[in-house]
Structure formats: C-alpha cells, structure tokens
Chain A
Amino acid sequence: MTFLLGLISGHFDHFSSARIRGDMADSGSIEVPINTGVGIVTPVEKIVDVLEMEEFADERKRVEGERKERPEEGATLDSVEPESEFEFEVENAPST
C-alpha cells in the first residue's frame, strides 16, 4: 500500500560561478544554477483542502441531494390490474 505524501512544487538551486573559456574568457564570470537535490513537496493536506473548497463540495452535495430525491425504482410486477370503475382522459399518456 502506498500513500500520498503530496505533490512536487519545485527544487532549490544553488548558484555557482562558472569560468568562461575561449574567445569570451575575458568577459568575466557568470553564475549558473545547480540543482541542490532538495525537492519541495506541497503536503497532501493542501490537496484535500482544495478538493473540499466550496467550488467542488457544493457540486458534490448538489448531486448527492438530487440522487437522494430520486424515487426508488423497481421492477414492474406482472399482475392483472383491476379495471377502474372511473373513466378519464390523461394528457400525453404513454401508449402501451
């Protein structure tokens, strides 16, 4: 099993002077970044923070609420329905 520690944000550089050779040797020195090998990791709690922000949490609550309000669906029972003693019209009634 592995767990998430966080995500990489970057690393620290150490700037070191470099010698210039050849035709530009008299131009002085330059500084170049050297990776120190120290990486920066944003903690996993910060990821959880973002996922819990209202921009996302509200949408999850909305979908959960909608699903909760849906009527439960079940199979149609194969039984003979008794004839109604009333006659009435139903608009847009589905054909059977």
Chain B
Amino acid sequence: MRRRIRAIGEPVVPLTDKYPLAVTFIIGPVRHEDGTTSLEPIGTGFVVNVPTRDEGVYFEYVVTASHVVQGDDERYVRIRKRQGGHKDVRVHEWVHHPHADVAAAPFKGDGEMHLLNVPSASMRWPGLPVGMEWQPELGDRVYFLGLLALTGAREMAENNVPMVRSGTIGAMYQDDVPVEWPDKSIRKFQAHLIDCRSYGGFSGRRVFFSGIADSRAYVRESGGGAE
C-alpha cells in the first residue's frame, strides 16, 4: 500500500546547478570511415565518493557503463577546470562487474578540477526496509544528466556540457534484459526499465530519483581523497 503523499501535477525538479558538475565524460578513440582515429566523447560517467572509517579520508572512483570502456583502448575522463575549460585525465585499471553493465576505476581529484562527486550514501537505499519513503516505485519520476552527443551538438559535448533529461520508472529488477555488446554479441543483465528517450553517448549516466526530506547533500566537492 502506498503511503506517500503526492502532489498533483508536475513534480518540482529536485536538481540544482550543482548537479551538472558531477558529470564527467568518458573519452576514447573513435575510428572514422576514412581510416583516421580521434579522441572523442563516447559515454558519460560520474565520480563516487567512498568514505573510510577515518573522518575526512575517502576514496574516489569514476563509474560508467562497462560497455563504454571495453577493450584495451586508452580512456580519459573529461573534467571541468575551475579556471575554465577542461582537461582529460587518463584512467587505467577499469574493473568490470562480471554480470552487469557497470565498471569503475580509481580516480583522484585535485584542486584544479571543478568537479563534484556522488556520496555513497545516495546508493544505500536498497538496504532500507521496503515501504520507506525513499523506496522508488513504478511510475516515479527519474532524472538523468548526460552527454548530449547529437549531430550539431558536438561542440557542447567537447566542452563537457551535460543535459538533464527525465522519465518515469516502467519496470524494476527485470532479469535477462538483452543488451547488444560492442562485439555485437547479446548479453543479458538484470535491469530497470524507464520510459524516456535515451541516445547513444548517454550510456553511463546516473539515474536518480527524489526521496523525501533529508538534509544530506547529494553532491560534494571532489579532491582530497585518501592519502
């Protein structure tokens, strides 16, 4: 039984201008029909903050979809700089989930980067008792920020300009959802399905939903991780 009180009409978008700062783009080689190769945005990622037991000491990891960083090609993470512009940081050591389309790699921000990260606290809701206010349900609105890799918007992607989109939860925890892998094989994973528009290049975007009243910040400054 739903106990949540819902507003009638469009919900207030629970985003601030900080959210786009938690978006990173994954850069990799793109092979063109004329045989040339160039480094271009190929997906979206975000940086997760994992605290240790020592206060103020934490680890950072860049997270994206596994299929975005398959293979041995070099990958970079594009980060905005405080002084303007951006820089591409090479990322090694991707660790892939054996049964899901997600990969992560160690990352360390620095003071030059204008980057916010996602606290691991925002990922703990599945461990909460079912029925609590912050459990997502079918029909709930979800939001996602990602790379706008459309023809005519290439310059926006190159400048790390993310775009907010939204949809609703259509189905949750569906087993054996078929996904075409980069090598054209079909792999099946557990996944949620959302009613939205998603295009190539948006892979790796984080999808979030709005819980009710909590003072924890969703994003926080990156940098100054574990020594």
Number of chain B residues close to chain A: CB under 8 A? 75
Inter-subunit contact A8/B59 (CB<8 Å): no
Q: How far is the CB of A82 from chain B (nearest CB, A)?
A: 37
Cβ B104 vs Cβ A39 within 8 A:
no
The smallest C-beta distance from A24 to any residue of chain B, in angstroms, reads 20
Measured CA separation A47–B101 after assembly (Å): 9
Q: Tally chain A residues at the interface, Cβ within 8 Å.
A: 35
With contact pairs A39-B198, A43-B173 given, residues A63 and B52 touching in the complex (Cβ less than 8 Å)? yes
Q: Is the CB of B52 within 8 A of A41?
A: no
B29 in contact (CB, < 8 A): no
Whether A64 contacts B52 by the Cβ 8 Å rule is: yes
**Residues on the A chain within 8 Å of B195, using CB:** 37-39
Asked if A47 and B123 sit within 8 Å, CB to CB, the answer is yes
Is B91 close to A, CB under 8 A? no
- Whether the pair B209, A41 counts as a contact (CB closer than 8 A) is no
Contacts of B17 in A (CB 8 A): none
Q: A48-56, A72-80, A84-92: which lies at the B interface?
A: A48-56
Q: State the Cβ distance, B66 to closest chain A Cβ, in Å.
A: 9
A-B contact count, CB below 8 Å? 188
Complex contacts, B194 vs chain A, CB 8 Å: 38-39, 41
> Is B179 a contact of A60 with CB atoms below 8 Å?
no
Contacts of B204 on A, CB cut-off 8 Å? 7-8
* Residue from B203, B218, B227 within 8 A of A8 (CB atoms): B203
The answer to whether B65 touches A42 (Cβ under 8 A) is: yes
Chain B: minimal CB distance from A12 (Å): 8
Chain A residues whose C-beta falls within 8 Å of the C-beta of B106 in the assembled complex: 56, 59
B115 located at the interface, meaning its Cβ lies under 8 Å from any Cβ of chain A in the complex:
no
Q: With an 8 A cutoff between CB atoms, is B226 at the interface?
A: yes
* A16 interfacial contact with B, CB 8 Å: no
Q: Hey, which chain B residues are within 8 Å of A45, CB to CB? A: 126
Give the A-binding residues of B (Cβ under 8 A).
Answer: 14-15, 44, 46, 48, 50, 52-54, 57, 59, 61, 63-65, 67, 93, 95-97, 99-104, 106, 118, 120, 122-123, 125-126, 134, 136, 142-144, 146, 167, 169-170, 173, 177, 179-180, 189-199, 202-216, 218, 226-227
Sorted nearest first, the 10 A-B pairs with minimum C-beta distance are A1-B214, A46-B100, A11-B198, A39-B198, A41-B192, A9-B101, A8-B205, A2-B208, A5-B207, A39-B194
Identify 18 new A-B residue pairs, CB closer than 8 A, beyond the known A35-B199, A43-B126, A59-B59. A2-B218, A3-B122, A4-B207, A7-B102, A7-B205, A8-B146, A9-B101, A10-B203, A39-B196, A41-B142, A42-B102, A42-B191, A47-B63, A48-B120, A56-B104, A63-B226, A64-B53, A67-B57
